[in-house]
Structure 1
Amino acid sequence: MSLFDRTEFEALVHGLPGTSIADQWDARVAKVGDKVFTLLTDAERRICFKVSEESFEILTALSGVAQAPYFAKRKWVTIDPGSELDDAEVAEYIRRSHALVATGLTKKLRAELGIAV
């Protein structure tokens, strides 16, 4: 299986604390505390997620990875199924995106969602 498969994508996301999934923008959108941290597009089967500034520079230099349309200025990337990254690497970046976005939540909300404060 592949993270670009809806079932596998959802299984990974649901394994992260305080997450929810919604259909939005022609995609499966994963949120933590109502803030988006990753999405899987319906048509192209691309995965988008937020990264650190350093990771943004490194990842966008790889084949099959690009700045995410409409999100690039906030350091989001989009990954094609044929990218240089394997599923384990993509999964790790999704976990990091979850953590990065969760740090922007209040301590109270993180505690309510079961995210280590």
Structure 2
Amino acid sequence: MTLDDLNTFCATLAATHHVVQWGDHDVWKVGIEGKGKVFAIAGTQPDGHLSVSFKVSDMAFEILRDHPDCRPAPYLASRGMKWIQYYTGDQMTDDEVRDLLQDSHRLVAAGLPKKTQKELGL
């Protein structure tokens, strides 16, 4: 999966918007623009691999932190958040990455106020 593929996919998820933040990172948020919550932070590493961090469930965090293509997301996981970074791209399929991004979107959207969820059709 390329960064363009990831951005194209994230754009198909409900109530999302994209910003470039923290230097040159592609950041995807769900919610009202300007008030959304981050569900994916992506970029391309010097070796060309896609790097993307995303929120996961407690169980997925326990499983994915030992996956050869993943690691606890720098900065986020060290602060106790359940975020994983996909960074090598050698074993995980593009469909698996898309499923994880969709789950992250769902988890973050579920944390929005109920009124906002209703307004956005989530």
TM-score for the superposition, normalised by structure 2: 0.85
CA root-mean-square deviation: 1.3
CA shift, 1:83, in A, is 4.0
CA shift, 1:71, in A, is 0.7
The 8 Å contact of residues 62 and 83 in structure 1, kept in 2 or not, is answered as no
Structure 1: which 5+ runs fail to align? Answer: none
How many angstroms apart in 1 are the aligned matches of 2:88 and 2:116?
34
Residues 62-100 of structure 1 deviation map (CA, whole Å, 9 limit, x = unaligned): 112101111112110101142421110110010000000
TM-score for the superposition, normalised by structure 1: 0.89
Matched, 1:108 2:115: yes
Correspondence for 1:27: 25
Correspondence for 1:13: 10
- Letter of the structure 2 residue corresponding to residue 84 of structure 1: Q
Matched, 1:36 2:38: yes
Structure 2: which 5+ runs fail to align? Answer: none
CA shift, 1:113, in A, is 1.6
Number of positions where the alignment pairs a residue of Structure 1 with one of Structure 2 = 112
- Letter of the structure 2 residue corresponding to residue 11 of structure 1: T
Correspondence for 1:61: 66
Matched, 1:52 2:57: yes
- Letter of the structure 2 residue corresponding to residue 103 of structure 1: A
